[in-house]
Amino acid sequence: MHQSGFFLFLRLVKKTDHHKTNMPSISEKSRLMPASPIRKLAPYAEEANRKGIKVFHLNIGQPDILTPETAINAIRNIDQKVIEYSHSAGNESYRRKLASHYKSIGIKIDHTQMLITTGASEAVLFAMLSCLNPGDEIITPEPFYTNYNGFAVTAGVKIVSVTSDIENDFALPPIEKIEGKITAKTKGILICSPNNPTGYLYTDEEMRQIRDLVKKYDLFLFSDEAYREFCYDGASHSSAMNLEGIEQNTILIDSISKCYSECGVRIGALVTRNKDVIEAALKFAQARLSPPGLGQIAGEASIDTPPEYFEEVNKEYTARRNFLVSALNKIPGVKCPKPRGAFYTVARLPVDDSDKFAQWLLEKFHYKSQTLMIAPASGFYSTPGRGRDEVRIAYVLNIQDLRSSVEVLEEALKVYPGRIN
C-alpha cells in the first residue's frame, strides 16, 4: 500500500473508532426505569419451553378464567365499517353506562367525572402527571404493585414506602408510621385494595384512618380498586370514593382486565369528582388521542355480564386460594398468609435470594419435566433488602396445575443450593 494511502486508512480507522466510543447515550430516566420482576425472567422461561419443560406461570396476573361471552360477542359482531378515534375521554355511551354501573355498587358519579384509559396503568400515570410536580412525593404501603415505580419515574415523582409485614398478614402499617413519612414534598397517598401483590383487603377502619390523614394534610388519595370484585369469606370492599370529607381529594383507578378477565383489551378508567383533575388529565388524554376503540366496545358490553358470572368466578378463586395457601404452609420453612381478596399471595420461602431462586428454577431445575415461573417479591418493595426471601404467587391456574406447581416447588426447595434453615 502506498504510504499516503496507508495513513489515510489509519485516519479512517481512528475516525470509525471515535464514532464507536462516542455514540449517543440513553436517557437518565431510562436508566432509572426498573425492570419488571413479573416479566424480566421471560427469556429463561422461553428457553425452558424450548427444552420441552412445561412452565407453570404463577408470575403474572393473567387469569385462565373465560372472558364473558357478552364481550366476545360484541367484538365478534362489530358492524363498524371504519374503526375511528373515539373522544379522548372515551366513548360517551361507555362512560354513561359505566357511571350507571358505579351507581349500582354505591359509587355516585356521572359520566363527566371519568376518563377511559389504556388500562389502569395509564390511569395511574395520568393521575400522577395531573396532580404531582417533579420532585413531589407520594406515600404507599409496601409491598406494592411494582409498576407504580415505573410510573413514578416517568412522572418524575418519588415513591416513599411504609413497610407492611408478612407476620401481620400485610395489614395497613400503623397510621402513625405513615404520618411520620409526610414532609413538605408529600402530595398524595397511594393505596391498592384488594392489594396486588399481597391480596390484603383494607378494613373500613383502616380506610377511615387513611381518610383522616388525607383530610388533615390536604393530600390526594389515589385508590387502585382494580380487584374490587374479588373479596372472599363474606368480606366486602370499601371504596375510597365513599369516604366522606375528601370527595375532592380522591381519585379512583379502575380496570376491566381482572374483573372480566380481559387483560389484553387494555381498558381502564380514572374517576374523580375533582373537576380540575379531570380537565388536567384530559389534556394528557388528548395528547395520546383516544383509548382503544375495540377495547371500549368490549368494555361497554362487559357491563351487561350477569351476576352469576362473578359468583362462579369468586367460588373458583376461593377454592384455588384455599388449596394453595394450605399446601404452601405444609412445606417446611414456607409461610403464606391467607389473602381476603384479589388472586395473589406473597409467601416467604427458606431461600437466600428469591431473585436467584426464581432464575434457578427456570435455568437449572425441573421435576417431572415441569418447573415454575414466580415473581421475586424484592421488586415489589422500594426498601433495599426487603422481600429477598419472598415471592408473589398468582393463583390464576386451575387447581390441578396449582397442585403440580406446589409439588415442583417443594421438590425444588429440597435441592436448591441457596436454601436456608
pTM for the whole thing?
A: 0.92
- Which helix (H) or strand (E) segment holds residue 94: the answer is helix 92-104
- Regarding whether 211 and 86 lie in a shared domain, the answer is yes
Closest CA to 344 of 33, 38, 36: 38
Q: Exposure pattern of 116-155 as b/e (b: 16+ CB <10 Å)?
A: bbbbbbbbbbbbbbbbbeeebbbbbbbbbbbbbbbbbbeb
Residue whose cell numbers read 370499601 = 238
Pairing of strands 220-224, 137-142: unpaired
Q: What is the tally of structural domains in the chain? A: 2
The whole-number pLDDT of residue 9 equals 46
The whole-number pLDDT of residue 263 equals 96
Distance of CA 63 to CAs 28, 90, 320, 395, Å? 35, 26, 12, 8
Dihedral sign from CA coordinates of 46, 405, 35, 364: negative
The whole-number pLDDT of residue 34 equals 85
The whole-number pLDDT of residue 36 equals 82
The whole-number pLDDT of residue 421 equals 80
* Residue 219 structural domain: 69-302
- Regarding whether 410 and 323 lie in a shared domain, the answer is yes
Residues in Cβ contact with 407 at an 8 Å cutoff, skipping those fewer than 6 apart: 367, 368
Q: Which of 302, 334, 362 is the last residue of a domain?
A: 302
- Regarding whether 262 and 156 lie in a shared domain, the answer is yes
The whole-number pLDDT of residue 40 equals 85
Neighbours of 247 (CB within 10 A): 12
- Regarding whether 318 and 184 lie in a shared domain, the answer is no
Instruction: Locate 179 and state its grid cell.
Output: 404520618
Which pLDDT tens digits describe the chain residue by residue (421 residues)? 454 554 444 454 454 444 556 889 999 999 999 888 778 899 999 999 999 999 999 999 999 999 999 999 999 999 999 999 999 999 999 999 999 999 999 999 999 999 999 999 999 999 999 999 999 999 999 999 999 999 999 999 999 999 999 999 999 999 999 999 999 999 999 999 999 999 999 999 999 999 999 999 999 999 999 999 999 999 999 999 999 999 999 999 999 999 999 999 999 999 999 999 999 999 999 999 999 999 999 999 999 999 999 999 999 999 999 999 999 999 999 999 999 999 999 999 999 999 999 999 999 999 999 999 999 999 999 999 999 999 999 999 999 999 999 999 999 999 999 999 8
Pairing of strands 268-272, 114-117: antiparallel
Q: Which of 302, 324, 356 is the last residue of a domain?
A: 302
Establish if 174 belongs to a structural domain.
yes
Instruction: Locate 144 and state its grid cell.
Output: 406494592
- Regarding whether 172 and 245 lie in a shared domain, the answer is yes
Closest CA to 321 of 402, 236, 209: 402
- Regarding whether 404 and 347 lie in a shared domain, the answer is yes
- Regarding whether 342 and 230 lie in a shared domain, the answer is no
Contact 243, 84 (CB under 8 A): no
Q: Which of 278, 302, 326 is the last residue of a domain?
A: 302
The whole-number pLDDT of residue 38 equals 75
- Regarding whether 352 and 295 lie in a shared domain, the answer is no
Contact 324, 406 (CB under 8 A): yes
| Helix, strand, or coil (residue 278) | helix
Task: List, in sequence order, every residue forming a beta bridge with 55; answer none if it has no partner.
Answer: 371
- Read off the CATH number of the domain in which 145 is found: 3.40.640.10
- Regarding whether 76 and 164 lie in a shared domain, the answer is yes
- Regarding whether 59 and 157 lie in a shared domain, the answer is no
- Regarding whether 129 and 32 lie in a shared domain, the answer is no
Neighbours of 83 (CB within 10 A): 11
Establish if 291 belongs to a structural domain.
yes
The whole-number pLDDT of residue 5 equals 52
Establish if 190 belongs to a structural domain.
yes
311, 94, 69, 84: CA torsion to nearest 10: -160
